[in-house]
Structure 1
Amino acid sequence: MMESTRKGCWGEERVLRLLRRRGWQLVSQRWSCRYGELDLVLEKQQRLLVVEVKSRRSRGLDLWGLSAFNKGKQLRLKRAIGCWLATHPYFAEHSLELVLALVPLPPSRNTLDWIRIDDLDIDAAD
């Protein structure tokens, strides 16, 4: 497994453990389609939470991975979410939340940051 893949998996597992403790149930992990991959999709009380995880060893120039969440990535993510919704019609009536999780990798002692993304305007037909 490539080093970056291992780091990403570690970050996803950290986020997943935290969200499960908060009552979220995993629906999909590393789900992919032609538009890209959804790191985590979780469900709780008629709500869907899509989490894009960025794991980094240091803050660096990309601010813990924040700058990697550019317009192109946002467009691919929007399309991937639409594709996921089209293939999972059971969740069509759930409200949808999208969160960017910035996960510092060890040995960093920084805390995980959550950034709610409000303006993607996602439709299953996209």
Structure 2
Amino acid sequence: MGASAAMAISVSQRRGNWAEQRALRLLRAAGWQLLDQQWRCRWGELDLLLHKPQRLLLVEVKSRVRSGRDGWGLASFTARKRARLSCAYRCWLAAHPRYQHCSLELVLALVPQPPAKEPVRWIRCWLGA
């Protein structure tokens, strides 16, 4: 990536990438293996998709500088967002059929940005749709 491409990354994209890396470090330390990061299809993006034997973990990462009305990003995880994630996951699974036998867990990772000192909050969710 050239210097001009790196400069084109917005502050919010840098913060999002930082938050994903923080969540990923914690999950790897817990024994999860990364399969895909920022995987995209027409339905949307899968932030992190990880694997343990017979299990998949789909992680939607939300990050804020401070907790506002949306509680570190929790309020932005709407039914519409979950429906799009479900479609994107099914698209990913169609491209990776060897994982069809695995159970899936969806987790929302609320990652505070510095200077906040709060820990990452992990919230189990359901895809719906």
Q: Which residue of 2 aligns with 1:93?
A: 101
Query: How many pairs were matched up?
Result: 121
Correspondence 1:14 to 2:22: yes
- Residue by residue over 1:89-109, the C-alpha shift from the partner in whole angstroms, topping out at 9 and shown as x without a partner, is 010001100000000000001
Deviation (angstroms), 1:111: 1.1
Unaligned 5+ runs, structure 2 = 1-8
Once the two structures are overlaid, the 10-residue window that deviates more, 111-120 or 62-71, is: 111-120
Correspondence 1:64 to 2:72: yes
Correspondence 1:39 to 2:47: yes
CA distance in 1: counterparts of 2:27 and 2:108, whole angstroms: 13
Deviation (angstroms), 1:75: 1.0
TM-score normalised by L of structure 1: 0.93
Amino-acid identity (%): 55
C-alpha root-mean-square deviation of aligned residues, in Å?
Answer: 1.0
Unaligned 5+ runs, structure 1 = 122-126
* Structure 2 counterpart of 1:41, one-letter code: L
* Structure 2 counterpart of 1:80, one-letter code: A
TM-score normalised by L of structure 2: 0.91
- Residue by residue over 1:53-86, the C-alpha shift from the partner in whole angstroms, topping out at 9 and shown as x without a partner, is 0011000111100011011111111110111111
